[in-house]
Structure 1
Amino acid sequence: MDEYLLNYYQPMNPTHLDCELKNTMKAIITQQESTLRTVYSRSYGAVDGDIEEVRGIMNDNIDKILTRGENLDVLINKTQTLNTTANSFRRRTVSIKRKFWWSNVKFFALVGGIVLVVIYLLVGLECGLPFYQRCTHPSKPKQPEPPKKGPQFSLSE
């Protein structure tokens, strides 16, 4: 504005046109912009390089975050698969455990039954099969009588 007032403004000049101010101001602004661009482009050039470097680092970080998210998804899927497999394994082991327990119960019942039959047979052979008449008496058994006292003989006679 100062430059315009010093160089171009003519106060009482009747030939002065209204468009002259506009054109003159436009030329001055364009000249100042070009000057400022050259001055600031030197200092902003380094900043542009820094901005590009930061932009590259941010892009790398975003790629790493996306890769991490994919890895987390894979890990979650593997964990779910492992959990399902573990539950299935637990159910199968419980059923196998019950199966072997019943197998052991049947074995011991069979062995116990055989032992009872053998004991029955052994006792039955002694007491008479099938109802043990010789071992079970409806009345008290008789006690043997003591020997009677009679004449005593000595060996010396």
Structure 2
Amino acid sequence: MNNQYNYQADDRIRQQQAKVQEVVGIMKDNVNLVLERETRLAEIDTRADELQVQSKQFQAVAGRVRRKYFWQNMKMWFIIGGLAVIILVVIIVWSVSNKHN
């Protein structure tokens, strides 16, 4: 009877050890997952910082391009306005000179 009791106790101990080993395995997996997550978060943080720098560079370049094309557009309007004034002056001079003839 003592032998059967020892066998049952040993069996329970082995079952508990198996459960402990299973829990230890799960905990190791969880620790590894947390470490991988931390690595991925660090990579995402680095990429976010890079994107922020790139966005500031883009804003600066976009501002320069906008100003460049604004002044090109203004230059074109000044040329068109100047031509319109010249044409008006020519028409006025021509019409005034025709009235005197």
TM above 0.5, one fold?
yes
Q: Distance in 2 between matches of 1:86 and 1:45?
A: 60
Counterpart check, 1:72 vs 2:41: yes
How high is the sequence identity, in percent, across the aligned residues?
20
TM-score, structure 2 normalization:
0.80
| Equivalent residue, structure 2, for 1:23 | none
Counterpart check, 1:53 vs 2:22: yes
Q: Distance in 2 between matches of 1:42 and 1:99?
A: 84
Task: Name structure 2 gaps, 5 residues minimum.
Answer: none
* 2:62 corresponds to which of 93, 112, 120: 93
Looking at secondary structure, tell me which structure has more helix per residue.
2
Q: In structure 1, the residue corresponding to 2:49 is in which secondary structure?
A: helix
Larger Rg computed on CA atoms: 1
What's the C-alpha RMSD, in Å, of the aligned pairs?
1.9
Q: Distance in 2 between matches of 1:69 and 1:83?
A: 21
| Equivalent residue, structure 1, for 2:78 | 109
Count of residue correspondences: 93
| Larger relative contact order (Cα-Cα within 8 Å, sequence gap ≥ 6) | 1
Q: Distance in 2 between matches of 1:123 and 1:49?
A: 107
Q: Return structure 1 stretches of 4+ with deviation > 6 angstroms.
A: none
Q: Distance in 2 between matches of 1:114 and 1:62?
A: 77
The Cα of 1:109 is off from its aligned counterpart by 0.7
TM-score, structure 1 normalization:
0.53
Superposed CA offset, 1:51-109 (max 9, x none): 11110110011001100110111111111111221221122112111111111111111
Q: Distance in 1 between matches of 2:38 and 2:18?
A: 30
Superposed CA offset, 1:107-146 (max 9, x none): 1111111111121122123335xxxxx6xxxxxxxxxxxx
Task: Name structure 1 gaps, 5 residues minimum.
Answer: 1-34, 129-133, 135-157
